[in-house]
Amino acid sequence: MRHMKRLMALALALCMAFALISCGSSPSAQPADPGTASSQSDASGSTEGAAAEGGLTEAERAKEFVTVATGPTSGIYFPIGGAFATALSDWGYTTSAQATAASGENIQLIQESGAEIAIAMQDSVMQAYEGFGAYEGKEPASNLRALMRLWPNYVQLVTTANTGIKSVEDLKGKRVGVGAANSGVELNARMIFEAYGMSYDDCTVDYLAYGEAIDNMKNGQCDAVFVTSGLPNATVTELATSYDMVIVPIDGDGRDRLIAQYPFYAATTIPADTYNNKEDVQSVFVYNIMLVRDDLSDAMVYDMLNGIFENIATIQASHNAANKNISLDVGISDLQLPLHPGAEKWWADHGFTK
């Protein structure tokens, strides 16, 4: 009997040992190590096997809460940012999409650890990071880091035909909606005025979000409005449908000076038939980027990129601007802000370096 009990105990121990070895060989049970990741992705952004090869385990991921700072509910940041939250939720994170006043507030939220990732225009980001322009005299936001490049924001200066405004210089003496104070739109407007040798003193400025300013224009209380967003913008589309809208070109020497002084701008056109415009309209664009908190672990940042590109179809379906511009093959070109080390490693593993 005693011999039999010993045999049973030995058999039980062997079973437990085999069970432990089996569990230890499971990919999800391995410790996270971004340095071992080597997954290859196609242009659509699929990261097959990424969960096993880098980032966090499922259990580690489930413990993390990711707040995505987006923008006003009327703008493009909100649906695209919400799609990022959904993609990360599908990857196993607990997430929230927070409506904000866009770039300025989002930069502040990242600085103050109020969000894990946030959408912002690169011109606003670089002013904060280097402490110039709207951030003159403030401590440079040296803790800002980039996760990835997003879509280009087109500067759209819109008016109606009855105002007679046909150029930036024609804004003199007019009432102009320049965006909420220190918002990304307002920083664009301020730099464009400067490039054309003008200042806000040349007109009456309304510090209103472009949705409110366009409502005022419909009521005859505003003459022109700066809108900086992806194409098409729903608010501008509605204006063009109901009114004889004119897109004022940003061109000539003023545009050349703008790009020379602030190289995060690039010359572009708003294509014909984007709204009611029968011809291309000269303008500029600046990229949106996704910011990330610099104090997040390299493994978590690496893993979030795994989740984003594993679920990239969710993000691309959120808006036309995302569908055309957010994919793995665009890489990280034109990013001026330093990448988070975890993001730098992820992009390098997928063939992209700055």
7-51 pLDDT, tens digit per residue, is 344 343 433 333 333 333 332 322 333 333 333 334 334 443 444
User: Does a structural domain hold residue 320?
Assistant: yes
d(CA 175, CA 278): 26
Q: For residue 308, tell me if it sits in a domain.
A: yes
Q: Which domain holds residue 137?
A: 37-150+288-349
Query: Which tokens in the block code for residue 61?
Result: 């991921």
Which stretches does DSSP call E strand in 1-111? Answer: 65-69, 94-98
Residues 205 and 310 occupy one common structural domain:
no
Query: How many structural domains compose the chain?
Result: 2
- Share the mean pLDDT of the chain: 87
Q: What are phi and psi of 199, to 5 degrees?
A: -145, 170
What letter represents residue 43's amino acid?
A
Q: What is the band of 133 on the pLDDT scale with cuts at 50, 70, 90? A: confident
Angle, CA of 200, 129 and 290, to the nearest 5°: 100
Assigned domain for 28 exists? no
Last residue of a domain, one of 259, 286, 313: 286
Do 277 and 167 share a structural domain?
A: yes
CATH code for the domain in which residue 102 is found: 3.40.190.10
Query: For the residues of 300-354, what is the DSSP string, one character each?
Result: HHHHHHHHHHHTHHHHHTT-HHHHHH-SGGGTTTT--SPBPHHHHHHHHHTT---
The tens digit of pLDDT for each residue in 268-316 reads 999 999 999 999 999 999 999 999 999 999 999 999 999 999 999 999 9
152: left (phi over 0), alpha (psi -120 to 50) or beta: beta
The CA distance from 151 to 231, in Å, is 10
pLDDT grade for 53, boundaries at 50, 70 and 90: low
Label residue 72 by pLDDT band (50, 70, 90). Answer: confident
